[in-house]
Amino acid sequence: MIFQKITHLKNNMKIKLPELGEGIESVEVTDVFVSVDNLVKKDDIIIVVESDKASMEIPTKLDGKILSINVKKGDEIKPGDLILELSDSTSSQTVTKSEPSSTNIDLNVSNSNDNINNDDTEYISLEESKSIYGDGNFEPTHDSSAEQQQIDPGLVVATPSVKKFARELGCDLSKVHGSAKNGRITREDILNFVKGNQNKPSEKAEKTFDDNESQHDKDNLVSELNQTNIKPKSNTQVELKSSSNIQIDDNKLLKYGSIEKVLFNKIRTLTAERMVDSWNTIPHVTHFDEIEIDHILNLKKDIELATESKKVSILTFISRALIDSISKMEKFNSIPDMENNVLIVKKYINLGIAVDTSNGLVVPNIKNAEKLSIKELNDSIIDISHKARNRNLTPSDITEGSFTISSLGGIGGRYFTPIINKPEVAIMGLSRTFKKVYLDNSRIPYEVNILPFSLSYDHRVIDGAEAAKFCNLFKKNLKNLSING
């Protein structure tokens, strides 16, 4: 159990970003749904944040009036950062149990006699298995004179990341007017300042990055410059010192026509980073194969006719055959600990399903998929795909996967090389089915439906012979699959 401290003072509350899950250190604010002086009710959504793989709605757990908002769209915030200050319209000092739903978490007042300390603080137990959304981080607003006093005009108020950003641009923060609370300078203030001064003769338009700066920061900086239409002067360029020494010169591109600059969203940026990391650190080998699936298509039709449940996906049968194969060849369900020369073999299967969304590719996974029936597995695949496309995934949905399926069946192509979802050791790619013509014993042609598939695997852990045996086992399991699984 995790205990979240909730205290009250003068009915004013500070609402902070809750802990969102293991490994999530920061998120980007993608939407702010409230304004100062708005009246909000319990469970109203106040902001939407986006991590590398999921968008999450953050609700308020109290009724009240918004006194101030401390975040805006595009801000990067961390668990514990202040979102807004709220005037609590209730006088009750007890948080009551909320009804469970798809977006709420049960908050239960602890009745334990084992007091953590001797103050009057109430401790609320948070059931992590339900949802991240109800973890309200609340702190009392202190009406101290220290908080109300004017900031010294000679003092620069900015976070370390903003100061670093200003140094990268060669921007003098003492000349920048801060638009945030208490005159705090934001990244947007710096960009606006640079944009307003870019035409001055004394200003340098060229920016070269230091080698010791992270490539991620470089990419984000160039994207932000592009997004705000900050362009170098003629015959100058923004240079990226990367391993490939790629240089971007707008003037060369504009010689042939107009261009458009599209900023990477957080999912696309971090997906790119992880794919590069996986490709550069894992020796990939891909095994290509195919299987006849007419019996699976017939089985799919029979189940759809016999039941009134959700639509049956062919991916359900493929997943079932894969789960059975992984259970027999457990090395494909492992994590290599190369520092200690240990292979960690999982005795459970959290099956990842890659889903193409408007924001990019996300990979939620179905926990303990080996315990599910065909129907339960089918419903889980449909539900988690729906959650991904509607940006309703929680951190629990996208962490701790053990094997991934990536399907291009609805789009096209015959074979491809899927990149392993690190730290997993294998991934299966499914392509679009096609028809192949055979001749029977009487020399009469007939058609069969063929499913092409690709298995990428970590050659540090899996040998080529093992991969071939795994694919043969998968084909056998799929061929022998029945309505009972």
Architecture per CATH, 283-479: 2-Layer Sandwich (3.30)
CB 431 within 8 A of CB 88: no
CB 185 within 8 A of CB 157: yes
**With 90 as the cut, is the pLDDT of residue 330 above it?**
yes
Q: State how far Cα 335 lies from the chain centre.
A: 21
Instruction: Calculate mean pLDDT across residues 141-150.
Output: 39
What is the helix (H) or strand (E) element at residue 192, kind and residue range? helix 187-197
Instruction: Calculate mean pLDDT across residues 304-331.
Output: 88
What is the helix (H) or strand (E) element at residue 357, kind and residue range? strand 355-357
More confident residue, 149 or 42: 42
Pairing outcome for strands 27-32 and 55-59? unpaired
Please determine, looking at this structure, whether the domain spanning 160-263 carries the CATH number 4.10.320.10.
yes
- pLDDT more than 70, % of the chain: 69
Q: Which of the following is catalytic: 8, 295, 386, 459?
A: 459
Sorted by sequence, the CB contacts under 8 Å of residue 73 that are 6+ apart come out as 29, 30, 31, 32
Pairing outcome for strands 2-6 and 403-407? unpaired
Cα(121)–Cα(6) distance, rounded to whole angstroms?
A: 7
208-246 tens-digit pLDDT: 434 444 444 444 554 444 444 444 433 333 333 344 456
Instruction: Calculate mean pLDDT across residues 406-413.
Output: 84
For tokens 């299967």, what's the residue?
A: 349
Please tell me the predicted confidence (pLDDT) of residue 282. Answer: 95
Q: Residue by residue, what is the 3-state secondary structure of 453-473?
A: EEEEEECCCCCHHHHHHHHHH
Phi, then psi, of 135 in degrees rounded to 5: -75, 80
More confident residue, 297 or 140: 297
* b/e per residue 333-363 (b: at least 16 CB within 10 A): bbbbeeeeeeeeeeeebbbbbbbbeebbebb
Q: 2-148, what's its fold?
A: OB fold (Dihydrolipoamide Acetyltransferase, E2P) (2.40.50)
Sorted by sequence, the CB contacts under 8 Å of residue 4 that are 6+ apart come out as 18, 123, 124, 126, 135, 136, 137
What is the helix (H) or strand (E) element at residue 478, kind and residue range? helix 464-479
User: Exposed, middle or buried, 254 (CB in 10 Å: 0-12/13-18/19+)?
Assistant: exposed
Cα(368)–Cα(347) distance, rounded to whole angstroms?
A: 10
Instruction: Calculate mean pLDDT across residues 401-414.
Output: 88
13-49 tens-digit pLDDT: 888 888 776 667 788 888 888 999 899 888 888 888 8
Token pair for residue 365?
């996974």
Is 177 catalytic? The answer is no
341-362 tens-digit pLDDT: 999 999 999 999 999 888 788 8
Phi, then psi, of 327 in degrees rounded to 5: -65, -30
SS3 category, 21: coil
**With 80 as the cut, is the pLDDT of residue 131 above it?**
no
Cα(354)–Cα(165) distance, rounded to whole angstroms?
A: 34
Best CA proximity match to 182, nearest among 216, 156, 218: 156
User: Exposed, middle or buried, 29 (CB in 10 Å: 0-12/13-18/19+)?
Assistant: buried
**With 60 as the cut, is the pLDDT of residue 154 above it?**
no
CB 440 within 8 A of CB 450: no
**Domain assignments of the chain as residue spans, ordered by start:** 2-148, 160-263, 283-479
Please tell me the predicted confidence (pLDDT) of residue 24. Answer: 76
What is the helix (H) or strand (E) element at residue 304, kind and residue range? helix 294-306
Phi, then psi, of 93 in degrees rounded to 5: -100, 10
- Across the strands, what pairs with 395? none
* b/e per residue 183-202 (b: at least 16 CB within 10 A): bbbbbbbbbbbbeeebeeee
The DSSP-derived string for 230-274 is: --PPTT--EE---TT--EE-HHHHHTTS--------HHHHHHHHH
> What is the chain's alpha carbon radius of gyration, rounded to the nearest angstrom?
27
Please tell me the predicted confidence (pLDDT) of residue 432. Answer: 92
Helix and strand numbers (H, E) in the chain are 11, 26
How does the average pLDDT of the chain come out, rounded? 75
245-289 tens-digit pLDDT: 567 888 888 888 998 888 888 778 888 888 899 999 999 999 999
